[in-house]
Structure 1
Amino acid sequence: MSSPIDLVLARLEPFRLRQAGRDRWRACCPAHGGSNPSALSVGVGAEDLVLLRCWHGCEVEQVAHALGLELSDLFPAKPPQFHTSGKPARRRLLSAGQALDLLDGEMTLAVVCASDMAAGRPLDESTRARLLQAAARVSMLKDEAHA
């Protein structure tokens, strides 16, 4: 499998590609179609990602698409990470702080609803629906914590 920079350099060959230093190249920009062979700077960044800079203002997405690439093609494939169980690791949807913030908000809603009901005030339909949504979100957090 070729690296992202090898893929980009191969696609840039027709655009007067030339090396400008270690892990740096210059070429005509395929996005705006100019003839200046210094309009596009290409480099290799941290973790081997491809850096593209058009000095005429083309966006990275425009340059990638002009080369027939997606933005994801500019990044090296990450090897799967595994738990000690040998199963692939799953990326957490929320950080612990985000989960606690969400729980705090849902608890506040539950306490206000319980207080209203204790005072004899019935919950209207939209509040009842929101309370059910809160319960579902808390359940989702529980499942996420146990995943």
Structure 2
Amino acid sequence: MTPQQKSRPDGGTAYARTNAFNDTPIDRVLHRLEKVKSTGTGKWIALCPAHNDKRPSLSVKEADDGRVLLKCWSGCGAAEIVSAIGLSLADLFPGDRRSLSDHGTGPMRRPFNWQDALKGVSHEITVARLIVEAVNRGEAMDVESLDRLALAEERIDDALRAAGGVQ
């Protein structure tokens, strides 16, 4: 374990693949994160190492070409995230494709993906609806539900801001 790599209270690493460590970009990233949870094939959530995250806000995805895509829903940038775990942006790319210029990202920002934003907003609205339904059934609003509702509002605002709807 590297000095920057965090460990869980049980002494294990934050991520474990069933097969041996392959030193792929996704392995390099996931091994250094905490509270990693798979959300689908090639997709994970984890605590963002670039800010004091209490609940997982970092989405991690392995692209078809082996690149690692990072999205912190609290607003941390990819450079901040990889720096916090002792890596560089180049470490997000496989072997001979480690140059950012090879991917056409250069100094220009990648286009806004409205489909991803809508999926995120839809998820957060579902969370809010479930909480409201519980309250309507007479269940008390606990602190955890209130915090999660506030997080849903934050994430919806972030998506709206990213889409250019709020200044």
* TM-score for the superposition, normalised by structure 2: 0.44
* TM-score for the superposition, normalised by structure 1: 0.49
Report the structure, 1 or 2, having the larger helix content. Answer: 1
Q: Which structure has the larger Rg over C-alpha atoms?
A: 1
